[in-house]
């Protein structure tokens, strides 16, 4: 294998593969260095192996970071329509599910990885696996990559090393050392799209419950975020998409030592007055001959019923019709504002994404080039941009990878003319 390339990309994930394809399409010789034994491992894990690779709904409201608007000039160059067209040309027929979530028609994430690798092969993009990088240096107008397999050199470098989420897929934070040696700052890294751990002992009683509802996140008594969907209750805390969507904010709150808790609402479609009327109907009007536990049957999962009654200080054996207005108000409160104190997250190993990364103030948004080191570019999760559940992190990977690869090829043509 040649040891000198126009561009060397570190990381064969979604953004790295996209950057390599785009740079090669514009005539650059490309080498991708990957420390795992195969490419796209994190892609394979997305969407429960089905790969939700983008979403019809786009905008800065779906992205987080110190400056979410950083995504706008990137998406103007390669956004949703360009992504769908790109994958359609490679053979991925997109299916729109759940009102905007795009998956490959095959229902297999492996299809996405396979077409990307086929395109890399067609364009003669080299991918070296199991490469252990010891150091990356910038020497005048070229980069040198000192690895266990020897030294590789390039005119340009794209760091697409991912964050720290899901270590088993290769996203283990190993790229941080290279970034910091180039003088770049990173905003604090925390797990995102991850389960949250709760304090309450009743969690063990309701482990395994799945119920539709809403989740509100509070930090120091201030509501920070809210989401609606299927809540999954576990022996350690709260999971499900609503929990994932707010978890980055919870993680940052905990990092600062603040009080963090969530309120779960199992009757989000009802006002407090309507919910109270519902319980009065079930207990006081239709509860004759039933105890409190029996009056709850059919409303929530049975394990949840017991916890809500206990939190309301209502005995399960108490005759339903004997319950007081005060007790039913407490039951309404429990059903619509069940509090769980958050004491942690399940950490990076269980997270789907990383919040934080290379400070976007040090990156040119139109090109993804470093403002500190000429010829150095960034793409994907390594940047301080993270998206919500729903294909947003992959969209950021495709878009930023495209822009970095395209900008490198433009810079290469300019350098060749000089």
State pLDDT tens for residues 252-295. 999 999 999 999 999 999 999 999 999 999 999 999 999 999 99
Joined together, the tokens standing for residue 205 give 């009683």
What's the pLDDT band for 2 if we cut at 50, 70, 90?
Answer: low
Cβ burial of 139 (10 Å; 0-12, 13-18, 19+) is exposed
pLDDT at 171: 86
130 assigned to some structural domain: yes
- Given 346, 364, 396, the domain boundary residue is 346
261 assigned to some structural domain: yes
Q: What domain range includes position 370?
A: 4-190+356-417
34: domain CATH number? 3.50.50.60
Q: Is 319 found in the same domain as 412?
A: no
Q: Is 144 found in the same domain as 18?
A: yes
pLDDT at 120: 98
* SS3 call for 389: coil
What's the pLDDT band for 241 if we cut at 50, 70, 90?
Answer: very high
Q: Is 249 found in the same domain as 113?
A: no
pLDDT (mean) for 293-320: 97
What's the rounded Cα separation, in Å, for the pair 164 and 64? 17
What's the rounded Cα separation, in Å, for the pair 305 and 406? 57
Q: Is 383 found in the same domain as 333?
A: no
297 assigned to some structural domain: yes
145 assigned to some structural domain: yes
Q: Which residues contact 8 (CB under 8 A, 6 or more apart)?
A: 30, 31, 32, 33, 143, 145, 152, 153, 154, 156, 157, 158
Joined together, the tokens standing for residue 67 give 């400056």
216 assigned to some structural domain: yes
- Given 326, 346, 366, the domain boundary residue is 346
Residue with tokens 């519902």: 278
Residue 269 neighbours by CB distance under 10 Å: 11
Q: How many separate domains does the chain show? A: 2
351 assigned to some structural domain: no
pLDDT at 167: 87
- Given 320, 346, 372, the domain boundary residue is 346
pLDDT (mean) for 102-106: 96
Q: Is 206 found in the same domain as 145?
A: no
By C-alpha distance, which of 372, 387, 384, 379 is closest to 407? Answer: 379
Helix residue ranges, H only, 190-291:
241-255, 272-280
Query: Torsion angle of alpha carbons 90, 96, 102, 105, nearest 10°?
Result: -50
Q: Is 396 found in the same domain as 278?
A: no
Q: Is 153 found in the same domain as 103?
A: yes
Give the DSSP H or E segment for 395: helix 392-417
pLDDT at 228: 96
Q: Is 339 found in the same domain as 205?
A: yes
pLDDT tens, residue by residue, 320-358: 999 999 999 999 999 999 999 999 999 999 999 999 999
pLDDT at 55: 97
Helix 80-90 crosses helix 109-122 at what angle (to 10 degrees)?
Answer: 80
Give the DSSP H or E segment for 417: helix 392-417
């Amino acid at each position: 294998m040649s040891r000198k390339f126009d561009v060397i990309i570190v990381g064969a994930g979604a953004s790295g593969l996209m950057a390599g394809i785009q740079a090669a399409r514009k005539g650059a010789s490309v080498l991708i260095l990957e420390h795992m034994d195969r490419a796209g491992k994190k892609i394979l894990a997305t969407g429960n192996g089905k790969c939700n690779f983008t979403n019809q709904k786009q905008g800065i409201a779906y992205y987080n970071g110190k400056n979410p608007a950083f995504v706008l000039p990137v998406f103007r160059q390669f956004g949703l329509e360009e992504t769908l067209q790109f994958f359609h040309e490679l053979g991925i027929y997109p299916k729109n599910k759940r009102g905007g979530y795009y998956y490959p028609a095959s229902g297999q994430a492996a299809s996405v990885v396979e077409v990307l690798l086929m395109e890399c092969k067609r364009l003669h993009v080299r991918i070296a696996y199991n490469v252990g990088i010891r150091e990356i240096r910038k020497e005048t107008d070229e980069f040198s990559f000192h690895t266990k397999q020897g030294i590789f050199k390039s005119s340009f470098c794209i760091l697409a090393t991912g964050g720290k989420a899901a270590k088993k897929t290769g996203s283990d934070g190993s790229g941080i050392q290279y970034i910091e040696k180039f003088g770049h700052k990173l905003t604090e890294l925390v797990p995102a799209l991850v389960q949250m751990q709760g304090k309450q002992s009743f969690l063990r009683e309701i482990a395994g419950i799945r119920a539709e509802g809403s989740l509100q996140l509070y930090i120091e008594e201030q509501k920070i975020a809210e989401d609606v969907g299927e809540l999954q209750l576990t022996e350690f805390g709260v999971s499900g998409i609503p929990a994932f969507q707010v978890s980055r904010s919870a993680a940052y709150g905990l990092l600062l030592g603040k009080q963090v808790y969530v309120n779960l609402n199992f009757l989000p479609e009802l006002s407090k007055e309507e919910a109270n009327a519902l319980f009065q109907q079930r207990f006081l009007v239709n509860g004759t001959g039933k105890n409190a536990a029996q009056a709850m049957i059919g409303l929530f999962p049975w394990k949840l019923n017991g916890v809500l009654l206990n939190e309301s200080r209502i005995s399960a054996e108490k005759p339903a019709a004997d319950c007081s207005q005060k007790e039913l108000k407490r039951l309404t409160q429990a059903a619509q504002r069940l509090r769980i104190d958050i004491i942690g997250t399940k950490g990076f190993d269980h997270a789907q994404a990383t919040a934080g990364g290379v400070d976007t103030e040090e990156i040119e948004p139109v090109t993804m080039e470093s403002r500190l080191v000429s010829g150095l570019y960034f793409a994907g999760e390594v940047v301080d941009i993270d998206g919500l559940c729903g294909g947003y992190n992959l969209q950021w990977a495709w878009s930023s990878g495209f822009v970095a690869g395209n900008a490198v090829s433009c810079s290469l043509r300019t350098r060749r003319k000089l």
